[in-house]
Homo-oligomer: A and B are copies of this chain.
């Protein structure tokens, strides 16, 4: 495996937002392995199809990706990196088309709904729902019709050689997705300062407060808490905790030892470098885009 270029699996079709995130993290010198579903994605490494997987875990408008949270615990992989990417929508057409020639625009229903302002300003353009943003770009390129457009991320234009007719169509500029890079490698990456764990607490009053206390008392900051139902135990929950903590810090070692007093299960999902909440590049792009409107 040492000299081979790394294979990275992602959910969706070539040109998806996840592919964009993978390239941003690992560069262009990777082998991209598109997977149809989240279940297929999370089993890519155990099936020998990939060395890494990249998965969306939360979006700033829609919230946590439930299926990703559940599979994160089941898959037994370790989080190696995280990255936050802006979700920016582009209108694309075939080479030679123009905004004036477009009368129909295809995309995933969520992407269409995030570009309401564009459709309000162009009422003659008919919107057509499809299963995938990047797949819509592939489809209009195959059709070769200058009246057809598609909405997707910029990467899809590159992959399918479509022409970008308009950028930043999205109504909201605070639309970011956080992605996790996972592998079987259990070594702690350099600069690791964020710890993700899952706890199943003893089913008695006050245990969540007690469990959070082991971090709070040590000044280890809780960054996120997410609850997910426990299958077979109606109205009981597992808690996913993201903590600003390095596993080589003695406070973290103490906290992880102490939390076992309140928890029936503690699973470490990984310790990895925390992504800056919003990258400088993202901020400046958002501003530019905002000024264009």
Contacts of A145 in B (CB 8 A): none
Which one of B210, B213, B234, B277 lies within 8 Å of A235 (CB-CB)? B277
Number of copies of this chain that the complex holds: 2
Contacts of A209 in B (CB 8 A): 209, 212-213, 215-216, 222
Which one of B63, B215, B223, B239 lies within 8 Å of A66 (CB-CB)? B63
> Any chain B CB within 8 A of the CB of A62?
yes
Q: Is the CB of A222 within 8 A of B234?
A: no
- Give residues of chain A (209-266) contacting chain B, Cβ–Cβ below 8 Å: 209-210, 212-213, 215-216, 219, 221-229, 231-235, 237, 239
Q: Which of A213, A224, A235 is packed against the most chain B CB atoms within 10 Å?
A: A235
**How many residues on chain A are close to B (CB under 8 Å)?**
41
> Any chain B CB within 8 A of the CB of A60?
yes
Could you list which residues of chain A lie within 8 angstroms of chain B, going by C-beta atoms?
58-64, 66, 84, 172, 174, 176, 178, 205-206, 208-210, 212-213, 215-216, 219, 221-229, 231-235, 237, 239, 277-278
Q: Please, could you name 14 A-B residue pairs with CB atoms under 8 Å apart, sorted by A?
A: A59-B229, A60-B235, A62-B229, A174-B234, A176-B235, A205-B216, A205-B219, A206-B219, A206-B222, A208-B225, A209-B209, A210-B216, A224-B235, A226-B227
5 cross-chain pairs, A with B, having the tightest CB-CB distances, nearest first: A209-B216, A205-B221, A209-B212, A206-B216, A60-B234
